[in-house]
Structure 1
Amino acid sequence: MVTKNSLKAVVIDIDGTFIDDNEELPDDNLSILNSIIEKDISVIFCSGRMLQSVEKFLETNIGKVFPIIAYNGAMVKLNDQIILDKKIPSSLASSIAREALKEKHYIQAYVNDELFVSEKSEKSIDYARHSSVTFNVPEDFLDFVANHEPTKLLIIDEPGELKIIEEKFRKRFSEVEIVRSFTTYLDIIPSNTNKGMALKILCKKMGLLPEQTIVVGDNDNDVPAFRVAGLSIAMENGTKKAKESADLIAPTNNNAGFAKIIEMLLSENYF
């Protein structure tokens, strides 16, 4: 556990953490965020979302610019500069996409921070709405992936089915990282990529130590960041792995748990 007055930055996941299940930002969360900013505490947003989706969320809901870790650590932006931009080799991405489509799984690719889907469907439409982005439908999705290097691939399916897909793809494709970012999302990202590794890179650029950060999240993809942070907090609505890996548990995202746990830490002078 960190000592009091040692935390210098708050690292915030968005879905399932900072916003509620209706995709709304609780007033209490926004209020406590402004309190953090007023104290000159650094704020970093760390998400599995694509970069443009995080930026649109911040512009719409907060109206401020923050350092961003996107794509579960494959891309990092600081002061209008991309300081990390990892990609999946096209041949490998093509093999993964081909296997997914062969098994009739819905899959989409992210290239140059744009979304490309294998088909226009309820899944692609729902995802685009959730992320506040538009999507493109290549004439030949496999050919498109074979000629580009995606930042991320994403398979969307029901939780039970996704577990089976995750196990199968982990065995078949050891050259990438495969992690859940949402109950129905299976993220496939470049090798040696995660939120924790990206946070260490970003902290170095910002003149911070990872142990001076507090990380708040709810899902398996947050665990690598938990492991490098000075203090890790999982939401009560989080996954079993996230909660087992965290130092503290916050109330649920539907109960403004982010605001409640940060308010407690502020009152006890951890910042």
Structure 2
Amino acid sequence: MSGAALHPIRFVLSDMDGTLLHPDHRPSQRTLDSVRALRDAGVLFSLASGRPPKAMLHMIEAFGVDVPVAGFNGGTLINPDGSILVAHHLPAEAALVALALFSGEPDVEVWVFADGDWLRRDAPGPMEQREADGLGYGPKVVESFEPYLDRVDKIVAASQNTQLLVELEAQLQPKVQGLAQVSRSQPVYLDVTAMLANKGEALKTLAAHLGVPLEQTAAIGDGGNDPAMFHVAGFSIAMGQAEETVKRQADVVTGSNVEDGAAQAFERFILAPR
């Protein structure tokens, strides 16, 4: 909280799913209004998501975002028109290690994101429809991931067995140390991205691009991939439904996404002091 008090916030970087959006993947009117109020007050606003960039375009429009945003946990930064500003691909070596580990688990659906597409190799599982609902499109079925290994944006292990994903995260981290980032963007998703593909690096790059000192930035999110930007931002906010390990790394905790916690935080900590 002291960061917000000492340095008026000029730029907010926000997670999408579980933060700005309700469980039905839609923002409330209060959240839309609070973001509009930020922008009217001269505060720059952008999005950082594990989603592919093309699955963010609708929300870029809905929130009136007019600065670059971060997709794939920061792996790809795009301008509001969809053109690429920065792209970080997962090293093939790390991709092979992750695919080998995940493919041996029958309770895990393995997805690869490359060339702007969501790819799957195996039969559809129970998590696929959830992802399709969130992204707004379905996967492309391929016989092999091998042709895409030199340009992978993200690999996802998806499972309703959240404890299994915790264990896989612990197993994979040392295997790809120095090569890749491994984090659970949501309890049911384990993401593998390039080393520079994290929301902390995205915040640094976007703030520099916009000419805003880091002490005048704020970050808000709910997932295991969000503390990376909490540690960089001048002020950090965790959502009320976030895991305790995430909450402990933020300056303040707001309400849950179903309680419009993001709007609460924008109103209380950023707009009110102005």
TM-score scaled to structure 2, two decimals? 0.90
Partner of 1:38: 40
Alpha-carbon shift at residue 41 of structure 1 (Å): 1.1
Indicate if the aligned counterparts of 2:254 and 2:265 stay in contact, CA closer than 8 A: yes
> Gapped runs of 5+ residues in structure 2?
none
Query: Which whole-Å CA distance do the structure 1 matches of 2:7 and 2:176 have between them?
Result: 44
Of 155, 158, 161 in structure 1, the residue corresponding to residue 157 of structure 2 is 155
Alpha-carbon shift at residue 31 of structure 1 (Å): 0.8
Query: Which whole-Å CA distance do the structure 1 matches of 2:65 and 2:271 have between them?
Result: 25
Query: Which whole-Å CA distance do the structure 1 matches of 2:271 and 2:93 have between them?
Result: 52
> Gapped runs of 5+ residues in structure 1?
none
Q: Secondary structure at the match of 2:23?
A: coil
Written as runs of structure 1 = structure 2, the 5 A alignment for 1:90-239 is 90-104=92-106, 105-121=108-124, 122-141=126-145, 143-146=146-149, 148-157=150-159, 158-174=161-177, 175-239=179-243
Alpha-carbon shift at residue 250 of structure 1 (Å): 0.6
Partner of 2:71: 70
Indicate if the aligned counterparts of 2:97 and 2:175 stay in contact, CA closer than 8 A: no
Deviates more, 1:95-104 or 1:253-262: 95-104
Measured at CA, do residues 66 and 251 of structure 1 come closer, stay the same or move farther in structure 2, by a change above 3 Å? same
Indicate if the aligned counterparts of 1:217 and 1:234 stay in contact, CA closer than 8 A: yes
Alpha-carbon shift at residue 12 of structure 1 (Å): 1.0
Q: Which AA in structure 1 matches 2:215?
A: E
Query: Which whole-Å CA distance do the structure 1 matches of 2:253 and 2:65 have between them?
Result: 28
Q: Secondary structure at the match of 1:11?
A: strand
Fraction of identical pairs, as percent: 23
- Partner deviation per Cα, 1:225-248 (whole Å, 9 max, x = no partner): 111111101111112122101111
Query: Which whole-Å CA distance do the structure 1 matches of 2:93 and 2:68 have between them?
Result: 31
Indicate if the aligned counterparts of 1:219 and 1:241 stay in contact, CA closer than 8 A: no
Partner of 1:265: 269
Alpha-carbon shift at residue 136 of structure 1 (Å): 0.6
- Which has a greater percent of helix? 1
Q: CA RMSD in A?
A: 1.9
Tell me the matched-pair count: 267
Indicate if the aligned counterparts of 1:93 and 1:149 stay in contact, CA closer than 8 A: no
Deviates more, 1:102-111 or 1:183-192: 102-111
Deviates more, 1:191-200 or 1:151-160: 191-200
Alpha-carbon shift at residue 45 of structure 1 (Å): 0.5
Partner of 1:86: 88
